[in-house]
Amino acid sequence: MRTPVFILVQAVVGLAVYLLFDNFGNDYWFFAGYTVLQYIVLATAWNILGGYCGYVNFGSAGFFALGAYTSVFFYNMGQSLDELFSESTAALLGHIFPIPVPILILFGGVVAGLVGLGTGYLTLRLRGVFFAIATLALAVVLETLVVNWQFVGGSRGAYVIPPNSVPVFGPYIQYLFALMIVLVIVALTCARLIERSRLGYGFATIRDDELAAEACGVPTLRLKLIATVLSGALMGMAGAPFPFYIGYVEPGSAFNLSYAVNSIAMPMIGGTSNWIGPLVGAILLGTLQQLATVTISSVLNLLIVGLLLIGFVIVAPNGIVGLVQDWTAKKPKRTKP
């Protein structure tokens, strides 16, 4: 399938889902669907670095929250233009603010990408483990920064009041849902393009044997940095609409560990070798969690995710996609030694 066709297919599927949910006439479907879509973006983003390059990022929650807090920052700025700037500047900026969500998504992507670049530059030259540990600590530090930064609400959190409705889309959640579908298309297309390009082959050499790749002249550090920036930026983009979705952001919810766990568990359970894996994993786990949250409890569904993650990495290292491939592939007859 060529890329334009691929995008078209996704757009058709996205539109179909949107119209189907619209047909149910209940906003809950959009709220639940938004979460699943958000996880698809996070899982795909994680997989660009984790699955293709073999570098584990434990800081998904941090990158996600960077996007969310970039939105909060610009929202708050828009709210208090008169206090922050002189009269003439405020009037000038008043034309730009409030910044529309699609632009905020881009901003969130840029900020998260830059943080990814910085962390990556310091730690990716060393063994892969150090990067993993640094991302783990990164989330904690970003949280500390946000807790101490009063402008974005500090530990009290910040209210972001979205308008009730948007032209064309109707209720605001439907608008966000549509935006998220576009983000999913961007993420999946990006992942699929990488897979089939020089870049993807470069990533695969890093995953399989970094030393040999380096010896063959593959610019490993540059490739790893590209992967980190792409992955981080996509996570930030997934986080940027979050404040508008939830209406009230506090560090505990934006930096929730469940984002980190889910964005690792979903590709691991789906399969890390191609773009289908994270998609399958995210849809499956995301839906399961929505069901469990409604029917059982939100703590227990996290336990399910954790146990599934452990179970899959031990029993089925190549995830669901790997299982299906093993099952469908004709096994060659064993020759006796």
Interacting residue ranges for other proteins, rule: CB under 8 A: 50, 54, 56, 58, 119, 122-123, 126, 128-130, 132-134, 136-138, 140-141, 143-145, 147-148, 155, 257, 261, 264-265, 268, 272, 299-300, 302-303, 305-307, 309-310, 313-314, 317
Closest C-alpha among 234, 143, 229 to residue 183? 234
Q: How many residues does the chain have?
A: 337
- Shortest distance (Å) from residue 191 CB to other proteins: 17
CA distance 223 to 49: 10
- Shortest distance (Å) from residue 314 CB to other proteins: 4
- Shortest distance (Å) from residue 122 CB to other proteins: 5
- Burial of 42-53, coded b for 16+ CB within 10 Å and e otherwise, reads bbbbbbbbbbbb
User: 2 — phi, psi (to 5°)?
Assistant: -80, 160
Closest C-alpha among 259, 263, 266, 294 to residue 280? 266
Q: Which is nearer to other proteins, 182 or 316 (CB)?
A: 316
Evaluate whether 40 touches 203 at the Cβ level (below 8 Å). Answer: no
- The structure tokens listed for 74 are 């610009």
Q: Which is nearer to other proteins, 139 or 186 (CB)?
A: 139
Closest C-alpha among 262, 254, 202 to residue 44? 262
Q: Which is nearer to other proteins, 9 or 122 (CB)?
A: 122
Instruction: Locate all alpha helices (DSSP H) within 25-59, ordered by sequence.
Output: 27-53
Distances, alpha carbon 261 to alpha carbons 60, 138, 154, 188, in Å: 8, 15, 24, 20
- Shortest distance (Å) from residue 266 CB to other proteins: 11
- Shortest distance (Å) from residue 99 CB to other proteins: 29
- The structure tokens listed for 184 are 């999913």
Q: Which is nearer to other proteins, 15 or 303 (CB)?
A: 303
Q: Name the strand (E) or helix (H) holding 159.
A: strand 158-159
- Shortest distance (Å) from residue 294 CB to other proteins: 18
- Shortest distance (Å) from residue 206 CB to other proteins: 12
Three-point CA angle 109, 14, 262, nearest 5°: 55
Q: Which is nearer to other proteins, 81 or 224 (CB)?
A: 224
Q: Tell me if residue 331 falls in helix, strand or coil.
A: coil
Q: Which is nearer to other proteins, 128 or 171 (CB)?
A: 128
Q: Which is nearer to other proteins, 174 or 263 (CB)?
A: 263
